[in-house]
């Protein structure tokens, strides 16, 4: 089996690259270990807590015991299915802040500043405001990726935005447009009531060209001959095969599996590879290092009125919603229910937002457990730019073994200060006039927890991953020892091999990672095709004029 390009991983970036390469007439093989994404659990937006907890669709990774979180092992879901994590995620669409990408460039990722990436965000989007405002000039209208807004019928969505305004924060009509900072409507990758995953947006149209072949197999390692990647060794139906790449191999297997594959192929920290008896092809100590994530907590309030989604939290109501969705793709099932958002700065002197809020009109956990109090609502919050760094390393040289994932959450003292600030600022928002008709009392953490020590205890016990791992194959200058890929996404020290997924982020972006991961696939596809990058944008993003002296 051979093609011009072999892509490992049918996820957010992999599907985008397959599409652009196929449309340009290139022959592509995409290797994906997971199976089909058909079925209501994945395609119905409101069912999002199911697929991310189903072994069938998830690699089932867990962190090593986290020393700063009381030795807890945190789950790290990664999509093992067509569409990758875009088939099991929360469908929240956030580009990231302009300054995130400017920082990438400062960190050595030349050509990845905001002015460079904005045209790719526009190219990939097919944006629908649904009559709810927005920044049309900053958005794309004919890309494959549909981005929409929820109906925001529940009064709590509006209350959250008004409360932010009453607390003295900005209101923004489009956090993906000129101004991220502030409170406003949240966007979702949902179209006509269905999850609009990378598989629906990119892979299916790519397959229709006849230029893309999808192979269900477990990638074991990249085959490297005389310093050049020539193919990928896979396990398929119990047999080993090599899928040959005439031009390039691209790893788009996630920030967990891409570094794992590089290490199994002899690319990584020389001493670590030697421990596992793997011959060193390229000694790159940055492979698997620089692991970052967003940690968050749900600040939950009990509701004084029965207007939350809890009224649907019973088997009969779920059946009705499911049936309505199955037959009409409308109703409660057609939204992820994240319909209001906020981005704020934790203190004066922070140049751009470092706290994000997802607001949800029900008090429920990611594993689908509703709060004991019944009716309630919550805001997910946590620091966006934690200074903690972790790593992905090999457990063994066996490709079937899970890697060791050490996030090292909360290992930096400033993370604790920022996290406490997140909790206190959220409480302040819920205490505003706009919430007076709706708030009964605080469920989590609970009003009894006030001091720094008490809040630290709550964080240690309840903080959870927002499932945004990235950074483990960091992009940087070719002469940077810690970098894994250069600004063309080429693995430094090996020819014909690139990495294109969230693992190449030099630093985590301010928001959910699906949009920037797809953008990476879009931009790298132009590099693979040898095209000039899209013309840089001259648009000037908004920054708070008083950021040096004011927190809001």
Residues making up the annotated binding site for FAD are 81, 89-92
Please state, in angstroms and rounded to a whole number, the distance separating the CA atoms of residues 478 and 138.
32
> Where would I find the beta strands (DSSP E) of 150-201?
182-185, 187-188, 190-191, 194-195
3-state helix, strand, coil in the chain (%, to 5): 30, 25, 45
Question: Shortest CA distance to 107 belongs to which of 486, 385, 472, 469?
Answer: 486
Please tell me the distance from the alpha carbon of residue 262 to that of residue 398, in angstroms, as a whole number: 13
> Both tokens of residue 221?
């390692």
Judge whether 276 counts as a catalytic residue. Answer: no
Cis geometry, peptide bond prior to residue 467 (ω within 30 degrees of 0): no
Q: Quick check: 8 and 193 in contact, CB under 8 A? A: no
513, two tokens: 């990672």
Do residues 367 and 77 make contact, with C-beta atoms less than 8 angstroms apart?
A: no
Cα torsion angle, 179, 182, 185, 191, sign: positive
Question: How many whole angstroms separate alpha carbon 358 and alpha carbon 26?
Answer: 40
CA distance 163 to 159: 6
Q: Report the DSSP pairing between strands 295-303 and 376-383.
A: antiparallel
Q: Which residues are 216's β-sheet partners?
A: 32
Q: Find, among 406, 425, 31, the residue nearest to 241 by Cα.
A: 31
Specify whether the CB–CB gap between 295 and 76 falls below 8 A.
no
Q: Which one, of 32, 125, 19, 29, lies nearest residue 529 by Cα?
A: 19
Candidate list 33, 103, 358, 468, residue with the active-site label: 468
Task: Name the binding residues.
Answer: 81, 89-92
Cβ–Cβ under 8 Å, residues 356 and 342: yes
* Residues catalogued as catalytic: 468
């Amino acid at each position: 089996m051979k093609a011009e390009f072999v892509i490992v991983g049918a996820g957010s970036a992999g599907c985008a690259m397959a599409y652009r390469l196929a449309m340009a007439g290139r022959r592509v093989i995409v290797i994906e270990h997971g199976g089909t994404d058909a079925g209501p659990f994945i395609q119905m937006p409101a069912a999002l807590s199911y697929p991310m907890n189903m072994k069938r669709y998830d690699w089932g990774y867990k962190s090593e015991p986290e020393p700063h979180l009381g030795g807890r092992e945190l789950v790290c879901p990664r999509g093992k299915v067509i569409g990758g994590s875009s088939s099991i995620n929360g469908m929240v669409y956030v580009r990231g802040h302009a300054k995130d990408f400017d920082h990438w460039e400062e960190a050595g990722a030349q050509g990845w500043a905001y002015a460079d990436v904005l045209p790719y965000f526009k190219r990939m989007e097919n944006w629908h405001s649904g009559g709810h405002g927005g920044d049309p000039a900053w958005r794309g209208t004919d890309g494959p990726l549909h981005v929409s807004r929820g109906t925001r019928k529940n009064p709590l969505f509006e209350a959250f935005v008004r409360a932010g305004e009453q607390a003295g924060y900005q209101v923004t009509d489009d956090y993906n447009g000129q101004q991220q900072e502030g409170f406003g409507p949240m966007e979702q990758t949902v179209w006509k009531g269905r999850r609009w995953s990378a598989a629906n947006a990119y892979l299916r149209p790519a397959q229709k060209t006849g230029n893309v072949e999808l192979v269900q197999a477990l990638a074991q390692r990249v085959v490297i001959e005389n310093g050049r990647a020539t193919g990928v060794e896979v396990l398929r139906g119990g047999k080993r095969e090599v899928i040959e790449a005439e031009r390039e191999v691209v790893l788009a297997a996630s920030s967990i599996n891409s570094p794992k594959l590089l290490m199994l192929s002899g690319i990584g920290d020389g001493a670590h590879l030697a421990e596992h008896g793997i011959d060193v092809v390229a000694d790159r100590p940055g492979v698997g290092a620089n692991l970052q994530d967003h940690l968050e907590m749900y600040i939950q309030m009990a509701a004084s009125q029965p207007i939350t989604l809890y009224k649907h939290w019973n088997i009969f109501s779920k059946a009705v919603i499911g049936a309505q969705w199955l037959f009409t793709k409308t109703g409660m099932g057609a939204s992820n229910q994240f319909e209001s958002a906020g981005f704020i700065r934790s203190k004066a002197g922070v140049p751009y937002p470092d706290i994000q809020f997802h607001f949800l009109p029900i008090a429920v956990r990611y594993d689908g457990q509703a709060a004991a109090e019944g009716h309630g609502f919550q805001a997910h919050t946590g620091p966006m730019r934690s200074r903690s760094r972790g790593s992905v390393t090999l457990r063994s040289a066996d490709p079937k073994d899970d890697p060791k994932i050490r996030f090292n959450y909360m290992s930096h003292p400033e993370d604790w200060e920022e996290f406490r600030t997140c909790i206190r600022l959220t409480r302040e928002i819920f205490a505003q006039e706009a919430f007076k008709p709706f708030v009964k009392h605080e469920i989590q953490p609970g009003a009894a927890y006030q001091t720094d020590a008490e809040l630290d205890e709550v964080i240690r016990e309840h903080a959870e991953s927002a499932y945004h791992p990235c950074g483990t194959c960091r992009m940087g200058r070719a002469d940077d020892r810690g970098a894994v890929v250069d600004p063309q996404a080429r693995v430094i020290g090996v020819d014909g091999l690139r990495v294109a997924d969230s693992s190449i982020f030099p630093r985590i972006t301010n928001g959910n990672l699906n949009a920037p991961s797809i953008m990476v696939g879009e931009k790298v596809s132009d590099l693979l095709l040898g095209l000039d990058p899209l013309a840089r944008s001259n648009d000037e993003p908004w920054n708070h004029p008083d950021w040096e002296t004011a927190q809001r």
